[in-house]
Structure 1
Amino acid sequence: MDYEVEARARAAIEQLKHRYWRACDAKDPEGFRSCFVASGGVLDFGPLGRTDPDTMAGIFRKIALATAEDGGPRILDMHHGFMPSIDVAASADGGEPTRATGTWTLQFRQVDRDKGTETQSTGEYSDVYVVEDGRWVMAECLFTPGWSVTRELTGATVTYPEVDTVPGAATAGADS
């Protein structure tokens, strides 16, 4: 496969994964959902279960948009993905590639304002990417949890920006 063709595919896939994490952190269920195939995808997020993108977007909506006792967000997340290993499959006809696989390491932090806890954890993503309607999306997204530490935030002050959630804003204009 031509180096430039493969490099374009890898860059688009990296942007896709970054949009996915950005949508998670921005509490953007529509942006989250847009990172996956229109139908038939498989997601397995360990403790959250194995399901399809629509069902997982509903689970995400319930968790990410939960409200704390003071009316602010209950859950604050921070996803950092790195060390990608992406394998772009050559097209059978020699044209643009339409399928790839990848693995990523995740460093994740979550503050639960109602429980007064912070959790830091790691894990590994194993993904299948396909081109659908001219853009890369995930057909499979499997997460294997690694280690995790949860601490109490006794005496800590947790702040967050007072902003309105705008559906799709985290991924607007960022198609690959």
Structure 2
Amino acid sequence: MPPAPLPQSEETDLMQRVARLEAVEAIKALKHRYLRACDAKDPKAFRECFVAAGAAVDYGALGSFDADGMAAVFEKIALQKVDGKNVILDMHHGTHPDITVLDAERASGKWTLKFRQVNLIENTETVMTGEYDDEYVVEDGGWKIAACRFEQYWSITRPVDETCRIAQ
């Protein structure tokens, strides 16, 4: 004997809860694509994480840009090479996602960033942490970043000397 159908209000509530969970998972996947694009030095994939026009990107000391401007800064910094090898090596880990789905097309999120960078031009290693405060919208059927603000909590920069072995 099949189970009795849910009353309309319970079915609607269940559908809304499932849609919210799907939105949260899609937004997590979006942020992970963004972080992977940063580490993979992929400006095209980086740019595709943002809305087509009007994104607000504020990375504190690095500056405020639209998505195209930030992609250009990303290319200038991250894609530097000397003797065919990358000289800026980054590692971005986004943790502790706190995502609020506002409606079917808008959401906000906070993420903690754990960041590490080896700079072979200045021979330094920087470790940093801070908080992303994002706004998301649905565009062309998928979630995109409409605004991304980053506030640094702390960082430490130390020298990398000739005894350090770096493989890439």
Tell me what 1:169 maps to.
none
Match 1:83 to one of 83, 96, 101: 96
| TM-score between both structures, scaled by the size of structure 2 | 0.89
Higher RCO (Cα < 8 Å, 6 or more apart): 1
Counterpart code for 1:107: K
Unmatched runs of 5 consecutive residues or more in structure 2: 1-12
| TM-score between both structures, scaled by the size of structure 1 | 0.85
1:8 aligns with 2:22: yes
Q: Identity over the aligned pairs, expressed in percent?
A: 52
Q: Distance in 2 between matches of 1:136 and 1:150?
A: 35
In the TM superposition, residue 71 of structure 1 has moved relative to its aligned partner by 2.7
Paired residues for 1:1-176 under 5 Å: 2-68=16-82, 70-90=83-103, 97-154=104-161, 155-160=163-168
Counterpart code for 1:84: P
In the TM superposition, residue 151 of structure 1 has moved relative to its aligned partner by 1.1
Computed over aligned residues only, the root mean square deviation of the Cα atoms, in angstroms, reads 0.9
Question: Bigger radius of gyration, 1 or 2?
Answer: 2
Q: Distance in 2 between matches of 1:157 and 1:127?
A: 36
Number of residues of Structure 1 aligned to a counterpart in Structure 2: 153
Q: Distance in 1 between matches of 2:87 and 2:59?
A: 20
In terms of fraction of residues, the more helix-rich structure is 2
Q: Distance in 2 between matches of 1:112 and 1:86?
A: 33
